[in-house]
Structure 1
Amino acid sequence: MRNTVRYRTLGVLFLTLVLVGVYCVYAIFAQKFTSFTDVALHADNSGLQLPDRADVKVRGDIVGEVRKVVTDKSGGVTMTLGLQPDKAKQIPANVSASILPKTLFGEKYVSLDIPSRPSTAPLRTGDKITQTKLPIEVEQVLNDIYPLLRTVQPVELNYTLTALATALEGRGNQIGENLQVLNNYLIKMNPKVPKLIADLKLLTSVSNTYADVAPELGRILRNTVKTGNTLLTKQQRLHQFLQSTTAFSNTATGFLNANGDNIVQLGQLSEPTVALLQKYSSEFPCMLQGIVNQAPKLGSTFRGFIFHINLLTIPKQPRQSAANPLGNGYGTADVPVYADTRGPYCGKLPNPPWNPSNPFTAIPNFNDGVAEGNNDLKRVAPSVDSGATSSSTADSGTTTATAANVSGNPAEKALMTSLAAPVLGVPADQVGDVTTLLFGPLARGSQVDMEASK
């Protein structure tokens, strides 16, 4: 780890030294460390090919360079000349300047001409040179081209000029119009040059972004090629899949066309049920979790494929009273209803604390459709809290009563057994306790006619 940090540090130091070295070379080349005496030179135009850092000469000796060229709205230019301080002290303040070419097609330089009566004051920083002489460029070009014409063979030059004249013959108007159109384009494009430069800078940024994501794009393209090859090799299966999809779509279309109205009607009829489920949806998690928690107990209840329960029976059935000890059963006014309006309620779910040692005794009081009269509330199990209960164990066959003359006593059990045995087609001693408990409330209070089998 230390070697890695050391190598990284050395690498960063090496890159820093390289950058510093490159900057130093550039600074030396650009004369960043050189001080100049800056003077201004104004001219109507700078002519052609006068770049930045062009030479400034006095009698052929280089005394500085052109530091900056600025074009004004009138077409004139203002050049900043950087003169060497020791040589600027020897140049009088009333010098004039000429912009001259080095060669026929070469770049130009600024020549400072000392007048016949030089000023005693030298050039200082901030001075302006206003007397500028520009050469007649066409004459200079002709003078410089004369040696070239002597060098070129007249016959070949004649062929060239003849071909050029033939190509241009009769096309002067077209060339003039094209040049005029080009000039108009350039006039319109010149104001857009700064925006073009800004767009080129933004293009550089976008290009860098594309360069960064190019590997990712390459990987995507490679993956696309692999995907295409996979589809090509699996085209038969793909064709079969599409055919199967088409067949399924046709079947689904036929089904929907035939049952569309039924589906709509189903949705309409399901709306109340769905609304009710939505109302009690917050109760589902605790209820389902409670069922899951009771799963081990349910496994114990049905162990050995035998139903093992402790059944608590109601000692006093609805409609049963002192005046009607056997009860008259339910009437049309006692249709079971669910009129509880409390909404979703989890109670102690999913982990209820009740068990055989801690039984549930707080019987809920809500409207179940059974009216007991005497302004009695409609309860799930009226009189269950009176203390008179009977219990039966299905697998033991024993019955105990805690109050006298209650339903489910041994006499009634024996009677129900004898009544249920012929119905079930089994001997009386094989009738289970659950059968008598379930059959008893149905037959209690009714007249039973028994007919001997033939």
Structure 2
Amino acid sequence: MRRRTAFVAGVVAMATLLSGCDFSVYSLPLPGGAKIKGPSYTVTVEFTDVLDLVPKSTVKVDDVTVGTVEKVWLDGFVAKVRVKLPKSLELPDNARATIRQTSLLGEKFVSLAPPGGTEKPRGKLENGELIPLSRTTSNVEVEEVLSALSLLLNGGGVAQLQIITQELNKALTGNEPAIRSVLTQLNTFVGTLDTNRQKIVTAITAVDALAKKLNAQKATLATAIDSLPKSIKTLDQQRAALVKTLQALATLGNTATRVITASQKDLVANLKSLYPVLTKLAEAGENLPKSLELLLTYPFPDAAADAVQGDFTNLVITLDVDTQKALKGLLGLNLPTVGPTALPTANLSLPFRNSPKFPPKSGGLPPLPLPTGTATSCITLLGLPVCTPTLNRPAFDPDLAKALMPGMVK
């Protein structure tokens, strides 16, 4: 009786103590998170499911215990976990958090790690910051695996495997050649795809580049598509005119066909007639361009302009006078011829300048030396023919002679 009374008294005292104090089981010294001595900071982590994670669980970095879980609570449909870390621990601002297990049936803990893959660490994780759902995950639990296995075994697909096997046997029986042919063609198809793998990759890359260019021109394409209804409306309004134009083109085509058909023989004959002319032109070769050069300076060659030096023209006139012909021309006298020649013939050389600013002075100018000509050019002076040689550098200009001796040169 004394022992029972003492036990009851102890229980009552314990109950009184618990009811009179703010006591929680988490305040007891339970095993788990690391004891942090010195400055620390807290970080809140969001999870879609914390499983059976409890306060006092450990927080690890690279499988080394560095902190502890202070609090776990539910905020809407998101589970939040507040962890306590030592001030000496530096983590990037984009760190990731994962709920893992120490072993197959071990305890849960929060694992913190820098970002992986192509993402580079940036910044520094500070006190009171939040690691959102986009950077948190949780490993698959043994309970989930066993639950999925039990679902498969109890009324799942295992019971249907026999039916599937029987149906496959029925479908394949008697169709072995066709199935073998399908497999052969499939093997050939896959082999062809593997052979052209690089071309397929190139084509996909080109399509990707095209898609990028189209995306860059998205505004232009949108404007064009927005303008397309107006263009179609304009075409619809001009449909009658377009139809009439096409009909006129059809009529023109028919007419042109009839004309060409009717004039086919004449056209062939004209082409045959042009053949000799074109042949001769081809045979003329370089002579035709050279004759065109002489056409603009006839009767002088195209080098006649070289005889003009500034405002001077080198000109020498040889006056060959037949006295008998002169008297006959001037007086109308027909004198008899005595001996080889009735009267002497005079030969006169006259130099001229090519500018009215410099008229001939008394006594004249000494003749300039010129190369010997190969042909003659004639004018009528005082009723008498006057001939001059056409030089390699021609010096004779009829307009100049008329300007210098008006009324004397025809």
Q: Report the TM-score when normalising by structure 1.
A: 0.32
Which of structures 1 and 2 has the bigger CA Rg? 2
